[in-house]
Amino acid sequence: MSQLGSCSMDQAYTEIIVVRHGETAWNATGRIQGHMDVELNEVGRQQAASLAERLSREPEISAVYSSDLKRALETAETIAASCGKFEVIKDPDLRERHLGDVQGLLFREAAKVCPEAYRAFSSRGTNQVIPGGGESLDQLYHRATSSIQRISQKHTGKRVVVVTHGGVIRALYRRACSRRFRGSILNTSVNIFQISDDNVWTIKSWGDVTHLNQTGQHSMSGFGVTKTSSVVTSVLT
């Protein structure tokens, strides 16, 4: 687990355990998901169960929040059942980035099928929207960080789990570190943010999938591009 520092202990803060959902069939085949509502596959369910068992042995969790998309919600419900039988609080602002016309396409074919949308999807410009109703990175950033700020303010001094998506987690990293994350966000990876009462964001740990060591199932995908890997911690570059 990569340790990235922590907030001063004399300052009130909320600890938010941000988790990417488990694997889906679309992750496994390299199909772009975005707002498409895809369920977990069996590997994803096993990943969620392993994570839930791990979190149940850690310090007390006060609430579980989730994107309302099925792949995140099922992951969150598995965690909630093991960590105190919470009712999961659904927040549409925790959804993945809307990816417009590239949603539903195989990543390897998207450039040929929808070249304009693919160029926008691949753009480094943070204000670039994607044809077909897709969001810019800035639009994703504002809705995702606003959601986390609301959650932090509601649970000051507590530990909270948030289950969401790779694009959202990248946006949260950008908020905490003032730069974009380059690397893979693994399925069911654990990324711990501490948010102080004066809204200072610190990353306590990043990309932890030690709970998957027994299964060897590390799905490396950003928006559906999946590879098999033994990587445990995402590299910060």
CA angle, 230 then 180 then 29, to 5°: 45
Q: Is 77 annotated as a binding residue?
A: no
Q: Is 48 annotated as a binding residue?
A: no
Instruction: Express each pLDDT in 149-177 by its tens digit.
Output: 999 999 999 999 999 999 999 999 999 99
- What pLDDT does residue 1 have? 44
Contact 190, 213 (CB under 8 A): no
Q: Is 142 annotated as a binding residue?
A: no
Question: How confident is the chain (237 residues) per 10-residue block, as mean pLDDT?
Answer: 44 92 98 98 98 96 98 98 94 98 98 98 97 98 98 97 98 97 96 96 97 66 38 27
201, containing H or E segment? strand 201-208
Distance CA 152, CA 91 (A): 14
Q: Is 125 annotated as a binding residue?
A: no
Distance CA 24, CA 62 (A): 27
Distance CA 196, CA 231 (A): 31
Instruction: Express each pLDDT in 7-39 by its tens digit.
Output: 333 458 999 999 999 999 999 999 999 999 999
Contact 99, 223 (CB under 8 A): yes
Q: Among 237, 211, 233, which residue's Cα sits nearest to residue 220?
A: 233
Could you give the domains of the chain?
Answer: 2-100+142-212 (3.40.50.1240)
The CB density around residue 182, as the number of other CB atoms within 10 Å, is 11
CA dihedral 129, 131, 134, 139 (to 10 degrees): 10
Contact 16, 151 (CB under 8 A): yes
Q: Is 201 annotated as a binding residue?
A: no
Residue for token digits 């570190």?
Answer: 177
- What pLDDT does residue 186 have? 97
Q: Is 211 annotated as a binding residue?
A: no
Active site residue ranges = 21, 96
Cβ partners under 8 Å of residue 31, min gap 6: 104, 105, 106, 107, 224
Report pTM: 0.88
Contact 208, 2 (CB under 8 A): yes
